[in-house]
Amino acid sequence: MNFILNNQGNEAFHQPDHQPDIAIVGMSCRFPGAENIDDFWKNLCNGVESISFFSESELDFIDPDLWKHPNYVKAGGVLSQIDKFDADFFGYSAKEAGIIDPQQRIFLECAWEALENAGYNPENHQQDLVGVYAGSSLSTYLINNVCPSQGFSPAKPYLSHRLFRAANDLHLEQGNGADHLPMRVSYKLGLTGPSVSVQATCATSLVSVHLACQSLYCGECDVALAGGVSIFVPHRVGYLYREGMILSPDGHCRAFDADAQGTVFGNGAGVVVLKLLNKAIADNDRIYAVIKGSAVNNDGTHKMSYTAPSIQGQVAVISEALAVAQIDANTISYVETHGTGTALGDPIEITALTQAFHQSTYQPITKNGFCAIGSVKTNIGHLDDAAGIAGLIKTILALKNGAIPPSLNFKRPNPNIDFANSPFYVNTELIEWKKNDLPRRAGVSSFGMGGTNCHVVLEEAPQTSETNFTERHAHLLTLSAKTEAALKDLVEKYVDYLEVV
């Protein structure tokens, strides 16, 4: 391990031995207002806030004394059709599927879609070890839709009793236990690499990416799926606002703004497909972006309370990720923050980022306001265990498209944040991501309640030689699907896509 000194003779940052770069070669997502990565990018560029506000009729299954309370906020980030699942496609009976948490169902679909997006068919690459690293939130489906002692289902009031009678304890545990999320994917898709459940609260999905990279570094797998999912049922439900807690009083997240009073929760799932960069280039893979380095730590006891963030912990993890990446902080031009819009969290995050940047340079930082920041939570809410993967996918798309989308609901800076003397500014409009002699670079942070912190350093994909097809007047497009209806749907999706591009 080497130590770099700045021009004042002080230790600037330690530089671990170089680790191989990781290529992101496939992605898939289901986020509020977006069924896929193309929809998600359009919403980000257009500044869409995909938070739903519920009518009283949509909340009629909740105790009226609760939703009529003046502090009850009828808002949340919801997904469409969480009750839908192509059970036959994955070889499940309807009865089996009914016992499985929607988190596992939708994550399985996203894993399939991510591999498909990467152009990877496990049946044709059986010699490759494919790992799965992922985590999910608490199974509220088990509590509210399966267990008859506590459960309810507003659409099907007898569903919980019927499901419970149809299942045994083992099936219930497999269908709703977080441990089984990655292993279900490995089993159904025929993947033989490590299959590991990750649980780190809000940092879960980004920690999953970090662990997948470590697995690739040491040769435990050749390809890795990484991500997370968080889906709560009942789905279209609000929350009771309590002053001083983390939730917003009006259903809007105003990260880093003077009027920020908290966040709003959302639901979603995201998966990325990872390979060593040199292997991805050799295999002519489409590369979205490159992971240069990542780090994970925990705050320990050096903070106000178990749930509070820590400046020291965040400084350490960001500095370590930059050191692993062997990247000078001066060359980072965007950071996707944790950005919850809380009175305590936002100032701590910017203070920590500023300290980490100043100590992670070859030369002292002499200018301020050169690095844009944003928070996807202002668009889709806080996705709990899937929050980190949402921020990562947003940043990957920004690198790929050479544009930084706006962070929403920002008017005046939080007076407790010293932006004027920091490298950062909140980006509030869609801008071209300009670059000079160096490639575009970014950081992504995710901080878990309980103190686990994760930071990932990204770089835009390298320029690779591509076959020139411009001389051909026609191209053969082959499509495949399991049913005629699915094939028709696929054709329509391609028509829509080709009309846009």
Q: Tally Cβ neighbours within 10 Å of residue 61.
A: 14
CA-to-CA distance for 491 and 481, rounded, in angstroms?
10
CA-to-CA distance for 424 and 225, rounded, in angstroms?
32
Instruction: Give the pLDDT score at 204.
Output: 98
- 145 part of a folded domain: no
Q: Is the dihedral of CA 96, 102, 105, 109 positive or negative?
A: positive
Confidence band, pLDDT 50/70/90 cuts, at residue 17: low
Indicate the DSSP class of residue 450. Answer: T
Mean of the per-residue pLDDT values of the chain = 90
CA-to-CA distance for 490 and 501, rounded, in angstroms?
17
374-398, pLDDT tens digit by residue?
999 999 999 999 999 999 999 999 9
Q: In terms of Cα–Cα distance, which of 344, 339, 346, 368 is closest to 444?
A: 339
Relative to beta strand 2-5, strand 11-15 is: antiparallel
Residue with tokens 């999910």: 136
Residues 410 and 340: beta-carbon distance below 8 Å:
no
Instruction: Give the pLDDT score at 166.
Output: 53
Relative to beta strand 195-197, strand 130-136 is: parallel
Where helices occur in 333-413 by DSSP H, the ranges are 345-359, 377-380, 387-401
Residues 455 and 295: beta-carbon distance below 8 Å:
yes
- 300 part of a folded domain: yes
144-184, pLDDT tens digit by residue?
877 754 444 444 444 454 555 555 667 778 888 899 999 99
CB-count exposure of residue 419 (10 Å: 0-12, 13-18, 19+): middle
Strands (E) located in 231-280: 239-240, 268-276
Residues 29 and 110: beta-carbon distance below 8 Å:
yes
Residues 328 and 293: beta-carbon distance below 8 Å:
no
Confidence band, pLDDT 50/70/90 cuts, at residue 277: very high
Residue of 167 and 93 predicted with greater confidence = 93
Mean pLDDT value across residues 32-50: 98
Q: Is cis: bond before 234, omega within 30 of 0?
A: yes
Q: In terms of Cα–Cα distance, which of 474, 426, 1, 52 is closest to 235?
A: 52
- 220 part of a folded domain: yes
- 154 part of a folded domain: no
423-474, pLDDT tens digit by residue?
999 999 999 999 888 999 999 999 999 999 999 999 999 987 554 445 667 7
Active site residues: 202, 338, 382
Residues 234 and 61: beta-carbon distance below 8 Å:
yes
Q: Is the dihedral of CA 64, 66, 70, 72 positive or negative?
A: negative
220-257, pLDDT tens digit by residue?
999 999 999 999 999 999 999 999 899 999 999 999 99
Which residues 6+ apart lie within 8 Å of 346 measured at CB? 255, 256, 260, 339, 340, 414, 416, 417
- Count, residues in the chain: 501
In this model, does residue 288 exceed pLDDT 70?
yes
- 92 part of a folded domain: yes
**22-36, 93-107, 166-180, 289-303: the lowest-pLDDT one:** 166-180
Q: Tally Cβ neighbours within 10 Å of residue 242.
A: 11
Instruction: Give the pLDDT score at 484.
Output: 84
Residues 346 and 311: beta-carbon distance below 8 Å:
no
Instruction: Give the pLDDT score at 160.
Output: 52
Distances 349 to 169, 181, 353 between C-alpha atoms, Å:
43, 31, 6
What letter represents residue 400's amino acid?
K
Strands (E) located in 286-408: 289-298, 334-336, 371-374, 403-404
Instruction: Give the pLDDT score at 151.
Output: 43
Residue of 362 and 438 predicted with greater confidence = 438
Instruction: Give the pLDDT score at 414.
Output: 97
* Percent share of the chain, pLDDT over 70: 90
In this model, does residue 324 exceed pLDDT 50?
yes
- 108 part of a folded domain: yes
**2-6, 345-349, 394-398: the lowest-pLDDT one:** 2-6
What is the domain count for the chain? 1
Q: In terms of residue numbers, what domain contains 215?
A: 2-139+177-460
The CATH number of residue 46's host domain is 3.40.47.10
Q: In terms of Cα–Cα distance, which of 221, 210, 352 is closest to 292?
A: 210
Which residues lie across from 15 on neighbouring strands? 2
Residues 9 and 468: beta-carbon distance below 8 Å:
no
Instruction: Give the pLDDT score at 14.
Output: 58
Confidence band, pLDDT 50/70/90 cuts, at residue 302: confident
CA-to-CA distance for 340 and 256, rounded, in angstroms?
8
- 320 part of a folded domain: yes
Instruction: Give the pLDDT score at 153.
Output: 44
- 121 part of a folded domain: yes
**225-234, 316-325, 467-476, 481-490: the lowest-pLDDT one:** 467-476
* Percent share of the chain, pLDDT over 90: 72
